[in-house]
Amino acid sequence: MLTRNGPLKGVRVIEMAGIGPAPFAAMHLADMGAEVVRITRPGQAFPLPIDEKHNLFNRSRRSLVLDLRQANDAEKLWGLIERAEILIEGFRPGKMEKLGFAPEAVLARNPALVYGRMTGWGQTGPLAQAAGHDLNYAAITGAVHGLGEADRPPPAPMNLIADQGGGAMMLNVGILAALTHARATGEGQVVDAAMCDGVNLLMTMQHGLAAGGAWSGERAGDFINGGVAWYRCYETADGKFISIGCVEPQFFTEFLRLTGLSDDPRFADQYAPEAQPAMREALTELFLTRTQAEWCEVLEGSDACFAPVVPLAEAATHQHNRARESFVTVDGIEMPAPAPRFSQTPPDIPTTGDAGFVEMNEILEHWRAAI
């Protein structure tokens, strides 16, 4: 077994290998010390053309190859289920049932198990059986509609909103909540985590603002989606970009002081809608007068709510990320360190995505000793 330190040390997890938010959720649990065993089918590999070690969602755990169409391999999985505390699957609804591992059957064998199900549309509803990806699941929540510039279609926001935010993180909160209940009562349950549900929850503040008449929901129409001059990104003289987000009046005042705009009448009324175009034009011109590095010298570290827009390849070298050791290098691969941080149970350094395989006997021997 690949045993690890962290606050979840000793928690026994079965992960049905797949792609997207379910492996990210399993990775996150493994980062925090859980003993995660990936169940892969023969020949299963990451669909993109990279080496397995670069598939970092698979870090910090080992795999067991099982062909669940074979009775002997299916029985091996049942042997693990009887000893596990958590099972994670991210298939289309009905797939686990077809494999013979429906929640009802699994909970009958292990009543204290937490059965985590990760889908885009959920286990029920008219779209439950439809294929999709992060962008689609977020699209029905209002989150995508409010992204981007007003005169352009909404951009694709990578896979952070639905896959990781509304999906994996919501699944793990649900799993750990259910695990707390199971350990206290011996009663397991199914956690149905749908990405669209999770993104809807992430939009709670926006729904409240809209109900109060303070959110239009339109692209570049509100104070934190580009609708104001003082919460957006600007280009600098060297073709790079910076961000400002001085929402509160005291931070806006400090921003004006540091940029020499305190007495500029265009900035007299921070929140006035009619003042935003002139402010935006002035800031566009201002930030083009210096390089990104020069603006960092003026604004970074102040209460002006400023940060440079850093490319992915440079994130690990930013002074703040370096100071906090937010990245680690393993086998030549620079990767994000586990998060969050724990004062008493710090996690181990992660592995790469090809931590290797484990034999059934090794798992059973270890998990028998743990029970």
Cis check for the bond before 340: say yes or no (omega within 30 of 0).
yes
Active site (annotated) includes residue 163: yes
Do 178 and 189 contact (CB within 8 A), yes or no?
Answer: yes
Marked catalytic residue, from 54, 133, 181, 366 = 133
Amino acid of residue 7 = P
Marked catalytic residue, from 163, 192, 197, 222 = 163
Q: Are strands 12-16 and 86-89 parallel, antiparallel or unpaired?
A: parallel
Which residues pair with residue 357 across a beta bridge? 63
CA pair distance 246, 236, nearest whole angstrom: 18
The closest alpha carbon to 94, from 117, 116, 110, belongs to 117
In the chain, the N- to C-terminal Cα span, in Å, equals: 15
Catalytic center residues: 133, 163
